[in-house]
Amino acid sequence: MNLRVVMLGDIVGTPGRQAVAQQLPVIRERYRPHLVMANAENASNGTGLTPSHYRKLKDAGVDGVTLGDHVYKKVQIVSVLEQESDIARPANLPTQAAGKRWFRLKPAEANLPTVYVVTVLGRIFMGTPANDPFATVEQVLTELPERDPVVVVEIHAEATSEKIAMGRYFDGRVSAVLGSHTHVPTADARILPGGTAYITDLGMSGPHDSVLGREVGAVVKQMTTAMPVPFDVAQGDPRVNGVVIDIDARTRKAVHIERIELPADRNKPPFVLGAGSSDSSGPDNDE
């Protein structure tokens, strides 16, 4: 029997949260996943995740939540990181950083294996000082309470080379290595030779009429003038991006991976007609 998991790329702002809330029932119906995970490091006004938005994503049907370099941008999330069992910080932050280094999700079907999820930050072109992501995942693998677990590794990194190297290094030892952080989906979803599902970047679940989720004009102005400009979250063309993966429950090897990209309909709930162009005017930007 196969275990089917969906992993969604970085949820960006109100449009990203609304797109996920609207499209998750479609994903559940179309793909029938046993578990859905999502990176939510940009979910609250473009950086970080508030406790309220964490709960809304859970209510929308996200089973497990990962974060990236923006993990602590909404510092209120620390209590959630310390209390909840389905969310973790990047594992290769300093030892004393708040939050768990991995979490586990048990599918409702009793005969399917638990999935262990660990996110690590890359070190190339990344601003956050982080420990060796390769050695960190090695260490986490020795800590897991099962001998032959299903493990999904998220490599939250800028450089394609670092992400591909992570995939190759752990090929055959984990069920999936999935890239995030660039917000641009890549066309290289595949099963590596050892049986690990891999993609260099999941892409973003957010407004695609944008520069990585931010308003085009603001980013272009900053880049063409070198002057500081506030980067508001964009609104147009909200899409959900991610992958669906089938894992053989017996061998723990991945047998299938495919990209999913679902455009949201801004004329249907939970989108609010006439909402302003700034993320801060969104209907549930409540923290």
Interface with Fe ion (CB under 5 A): 10, 41-42, 68-69, 181
Q: How far is CA 10 from CA 42, 70, 152, 276, in A?
A: 6, 11, 16, 22
Q: How far is the CB of 145 from Fe ion (least distance, A)?
A: 29
CA distance 147 to 88: 21
Q: Which is nearer to Fe ion, 10 or 201 (CB)?
A: 10
Q: Which is nearer to Fe ion, 68 or 107 (CB)?
A: 68
In the annotation, is 70 catalytic? Answer: yes
* Least distance in angstroms from the C-beta of 41 to Fe ion: 5
Output 48 or 51, the one with its CB closest to Fe ion: 48
Residue 68 or 133: which CB sits closer to Fe ion? 68
How is residue 262 written in tokens? 């679902």
One-letter amino acid identity for 38?
A
Q: Which of 70, 156, 181, 183 is catalytic?
A: 70
- The pairing of strands 238-248 and 254-263 is antiparallel
Evaluate the CA torsion angle 148, 114, 201, 231 in order and state its sign: negative
Contact in structure between 176 and 153 (CB atoms under 8 Å): yes
Q: How far is the CB of 68 from Fe ion (least distance, A)?
A: 4
Q: How far is the CB of 219 from Fe ion (least distance, A)?
A: 15
- Determine the residue type at 135: A
Residues designated as active site: 70
